Amino acid sequence: MAEAIAHRDASKVMTAESAGLAPLGYVPEMTKRTLEKNGYSAVGLVSKPISRDLWEAADLVVNMSGEPRERAFQEFAKVEDWEVEDPFGEDPAVYQRICEEIRERVAVLAARLREESKRTHAKRTKV
């Protein structure tokens, strides 16, 4: 869900690509339905493991695995933990609640990235 939400709501400040520590290998139908119900596209979403290439290309990795970054990753300086319940196998109301929680977290992250970008740009343009 986070990838689809970030694509629509925060694409000007981040490039999102989802990958997991223990991917299912498919995107659950309830995930697709919840996204579509909320106006997000599920087209192109895939369940895949995090690869070395993805890891190296990322400036920030959002960890929603439920494991603390220190246990889930060998290198964890660029990892931010988000405690988000996994809705897999739950009813539609749980999927909806999790979708809303992720949407809020993405919005906060996007605002933070915009602010950091402004500060960095201001530092570079001072004479």
Tens digits of per-residue pLDDT, 8-33?
A: 999 999 999 999 999 999 999 999 99
Q: Hey, what's the torsion of the CAs at 42, 86, 61, 99, to 10 degrees?
A: 50
Quote the CA–CA distance of 76 and 47 in Å, as a whole number: 22
Cα–Cα–Cα angle for 17, 22, 28, nearest 5°? 70
Digit-coded pLDDT (tens) for 32-72: 999 999 999 999 999 999 999 999 999 999 999 999 999 99
3-class SS of residue 62:
strand
Domains of the chain: 2-125 (3.40.50.2300)
pTM comes to 0.89
